[in-house]
Structure 1
């Protein structure tokens, strides 16, 4: 910003002897702030751009006894910058391929949810989801179709989520469903329904012979104040538990939801009848 000082100084010289800006000098300084704001906005530096527009507004309002009318052009410019700032922030929290939330949002939101547990009636469920045999999909049908599969899977996972629930891309072909304020039975029901939607989707409409399924590990934390609840675990620990249960779902035949109930690992839905359910890699309960 040092390169702008001569221009600012020149504008300062246009002030009247009493220190108030002259009509032309004040206008020039307002225009300077607006130009700087436009330049900063074009670079995505929304906060600095907004500050310069505020400075322009303050100059317009200076030494006016009555509350001034905000110039319509300045009002529109401030509204535009606010809108673009909000859009840019939202995009920074989204995965560019699937438009689900990204790992950054997941980490931030989970920390907030754990701290808010005392204000919720239900528990917090985290489901870690992995596409089965996804490498074979890419190898057989190509990466472009593989990208379309990921996009479609996210659409299916996001259907019928409870209020406050969301889907985030964890990495590669792994996704996370976060289900706040739910009880254990509802968490199992929601994740099993998501698994079934993926399994039953008409994948052959994308490519003949294409079939897609997912395996899910579901970790559940009871609400604070529950008689059987423990001190709230960190989000990283709950994700580790979900990952451990995902391993169980994979090793027990895939295309299943693995969860823990009464100290035992179980599979939901049709998979519950399978024999030889694998033990989790990490217990930590």
Structure 2
């Protein structure tokens, strides 16, 4: 009988529903003292195998633990776990952690993906009341990116996306992150940051993209981004949830695009403004109606 020992008592350590096989140097467990106990152990194992085959790993693990408790109920010393098995468990834990991290990353740019973004925004907005500085959410879109693909090819286009993400992430404050929203759109999430600092962070990221030597990737290549920045704080409740916050950022991104691109658009005192070098532009478009 193969049972899960205490040192591997973690449902995440059971990969694909299989318990690591007993090693040759593992001490054989003592037989159950009673026939009824043996039958109950076998029953727990059978249930665990059935649950594992259905992908219900946590419930399967609980039944294996019950079998283990019954098996060693009369022992005063904990079972010995060979060092080789310990190393195998550590390896499985590392592989599980790496697989989980990869599942939350965009395969092309290595930024976080939409799944991670949706999960984190729910928790961050729920915690907003405990952060007096609030939360900044910036929707970033590459300007004229279709022309980049059409002129230089999709391979160069992919490299542009990868480099843009590196530039966006460079110098982000602690706790902030970048996630791919879809296509050539990305989201910068800036928790625990006031509105003016959020504007400065976004415009610095925009400037890094503008001034990067893109000609290294293709002659005549120029890349800029437009940014729509929404900010939510306990004293200025402009967003009720993740979807509404993203809609507001999208509306401001539209304003940045309509105002000449290569700009950060944000709202201050009820008016849409442009940050940095774009602040001197005379015409500033209003966002699309998204529930302000």
- TM-score range normalised by the length of the shorter chain: 0.7 to 0.9
Matched residue pairs, number?
A: 253
Structural RMSD (CA):
3.0
Q: CA distance change for structure 1 residues 60 and 144 in 2, over 3 Å: closer, same or farther?
A: farther
Q: Aligned pair 1:110/2:121, yes or no?
A: yes
Q: CA distance change for structure 1 residues 63 and 81 in 2, over 3 Å: closer, same or farther?
A: farther
Structure 2: gaps (5+ residues):
1-17, 19-29
Q: Aligned pair 1:18/2:28, yes or no?
A: no
Asked if structure 2 preserves the Cα contact closer than 8 Å seen for 1:166 and 1:179, the reply is yes
Q: Which consecutive aligned stretches of 4+ in structure 1 deviate over 3 angstroms post-superposition?
A: 14-21, 45-48, 50-63
Q: Aligned pair 1:274/2:285, yes or no?
A: no
Q: Distance in 1 between matches of 2:227 and 2:238?
A: 25
1:51 to 61, 71, 93: 61
Cα shift at 1:62: 5.7
Q: Where does 1:72-83 land on structure 2 (aligned, <5 Å)?
A: 72-83=83-94
1:161 to 158, 169, 172: 172
Q: Distance in 2 between matches of 1:80 and 1:121?
A: 42
Asked if structure 2 preserves the Cα contact closer than 8 Å seen for 1:217 and 1:257, the reply is yes
- The corresponding residue for 2:184 is 173
TM-score by length of 1: 0.79
More off after superposition, 138-147 vs 74-83: 74-83
Q: Aligned pair 1:216/2:223, yes or no?
A: no
Q: Deviations over 1:136-181 (max 9, x none)?
A: 0001110011001000000000011111100000000000000001
TM-score by length of 2: 0.77
Q: CA distance change for structure 1 residues 276 and 112 in 2, over 3 Å: closer, same or farther?
A: same
Q: Distance in 1 between matches of 2:79 and 2:218?
A: 63
Asked if structure 1 preserves the Cα contact closer than 8 Å seen for 2:231 and 2:238, the reply is no
Q: Aligned pair 1:239/2:246, yes or no?
A: yes
